[in-house]
Chain A
Amino acid sequence: MTEQINVPPLPSEPSRLVNFWRGLVYAMRSNPLTAFAMVLFLLFVIAALFGEAIAPYGPLTTSSNTLQPPSWAHPFGTDQLGRDVLSRTIVAARVDFGIALAAVGISFVLGLWLGAAAGYFGGWTDRIVGRMVDTIMAFPLFVLAMGIVAALGNTVWNIVYATAIINLPFYIRFARAEVNSRRDAGFVEAARLSGNSAARILSVHLIPNILPPMMVQVSLNLGWAILNAAGLSFIGLGVRPPTPEWGIMVSEGANYIFSGEWWVFFFPGFALVLAVFCFNLLGDGLRDMIDPKGRT
């Protein structure tokens, strides 16, 4: 005769998705600013994805209502060609976010691998990569970006490359330091002894470990990348009119300040501020989640 032991059922493990959701809600509650930034970010993403569909007017549609102040028909007013500033500001999100994402993506991937290799192998690899970083950092970065765009030619992709290059040192340094501090850790040693190749140790054991802190860097960096790209187009590099882009719109609107038509430069500029603000807040929020001690 067997006796049945009644074991109370273990509480079932919540699925990863639920866990993630709970973590997210917790983080948002503990820092309302992060929640605000998240909402803002979603709005920007919607504008970037569906901008043309949301915008009340075509971003390039001109009309005879030039330089109209903000009104119900044109909440952000119209510019010197009678184009709706609101529509142009919304559609511009795609260009600005696109440039920033592409640039940060390139420098993230390149910087991660270069930095990780330098940190893992040390020696000559480290010296060459380090020298490269020093050379880039020896320039005032915006000036270097200007020079690169001037040299490669005045196109949008060259703005992306220039922004990627000036961001590279931060990722390289970060990845190098993180990998370097782990290269002699037990799990890496174990992986090495079981005959894993350096490439495999880096990509399977080390890089996944340094991804979370790298993501904080990415978020903080995106804001900076947008600022740089907009700054370049503000001085007339890269994106050309009539493409709607925040930097260019501010620079075009600057001509109408002295006659009091403030809305032409103000709204696109403010969208730029909000975008950068949003990324900076998200970065701070992410860091608080990942590394609560790192708060400054």
Chain B
Amino acid sequence: MIAMIAKRFASAIPSLIGVIIVTFVISHTLPGDPAAYFAGPSATAESIAETRARLGLDQPLPIQFLTYVGDLVQGDMGRSFNSGQPVLTDLARRLPASFELTLYALVFAIVVAVPLGLWAAVNPGSWIDHLCRGTVTAAAAFPSFFTALVLIFVFYYKLGWAPSPIGRLAIYFPIPPSVTGFLTIDAVLAGDLATARAALGQLILPAISLGLFALAPLARMTRASMIGVLGSDFITTARAEGLPRRTVLWTYGFRNALLPVVNILGMIFSFLLGANVLIEQVFGWPGIGSYAVEAVLTSDYAAIQGFVVMMAVLYILLNLGVDILNMIVDPRVRYDD
């Protein structure tokens, strides 16, 4: 088992190298001259050249690449132009906000999509099946930023149910001492239920807008895999043996149907991390997505580079985690080649 995990881990390394090369190329073709930027507005040609030498930007590209990889290994992603902080510090500070949002969105999507898909699979061709198909196709067509705006308009402006859709917590609530970085959990740990409720309130709209995006693939996958499982021989046998319907559906069907669903969760998480960028922009969410948008719009070279590398590394690790989980859950899964 451990050897297999190690093997699967090793197979992620080429992807990682590819990611680092692509990011390096992307960041070094970015428009704008960082040396001119660092040297300041009153810089002369001489001081710009001096800054360039200091930043190592006058070196040939392969040397720059090696320096970059060396820095990266030590966790040094450079300094952001916008905040003046090391990029790693910025990202680490903002990551929990994005993670919390994405996780809530994922939970929302799972809670809605899996039962919907199962329900449709148990009654294929019925109205519930068509309803499932219709809802899911419609939900997939809604761009998350548009859903977010519609939800804000209806639930904040019209009905007044949602709190002001800006940030993670309204300013008059105390920020709980950071343990996990998730405000809802930290507040509960600190025993401050009012803050926990407020943080949850801020989360609901962005989490739903984000989660709707993931409904379609999850529900489709659940439905398809459950139908596949229900059509297989061991289900027919179980039925012929006279096992109660509930046992057949849940113990025999559901548990087997869940495996492919767990499998695509990694892909869906990546989907959500990408869509996060847009949602954070709409809700003024202080996560890494809004950080990246600001960085892209202002050509903040080190910040973009750091963000893309971190996202890609996270994504690779996540997929790795999902694969390993799969190996543990389902002993039939083997990654031979």
Contact = CB atoms under 8 A, between A and B. Distances in A.
A binds B: yes
Interface of A: 131-132, 134-135, 138-144, 146-153, 223, 227, 230-231, 234-237, 247, 250-251, 253-254, 257-258, 260, 262, 265-266, 269-270, 272-274, 276-277, 280-281, 284, 296
Given A143-B307, A234-B278, A235-B277, A138 B152 contact: no
9 contacts: A135-B15, A140-B311, A141-B270, A148-B26, A231-B145, A231-B278, A266-B150, A266-B153, A270-B146
A138 B29 contact: no
Contact of B143 (A230, A236, A253): A230
Contacts of A296: 220, 223-224, 227
Nearest to A227: B143
Contacts of B22: 135, 139
Interface stretch (B43-51, B71-79, B182-190, B290-298): B290-298
B275 A142 contact: yes
A257 B15 contact: no
Given A142-B278, A231-B145, 4 more contacts: A135-B19, A142-B277, A146-B292, A146-B293
Given A235-B293, A296-B224, A143 B145 contact: no
B259 interface: no
Contacts of B142: 273, 276
A250 B271 CA distance: 21
A131 B26 CA distance: 18
Contacts of A273: 141-143, 146
B308 A144 contact: yes
A272 B282 CA distance: 17
Nearest to B28: A151
Contact of A272 (B19, B146, B277, B299): B146
B18 A131 contact: yes
B137 A138 contact: no
A269 B149 contact: yes
Contacts of A234: 143, 145, 278, 281
Contact of B281 (A235, A265, A266, A284): A235
B157 A150 contact: no
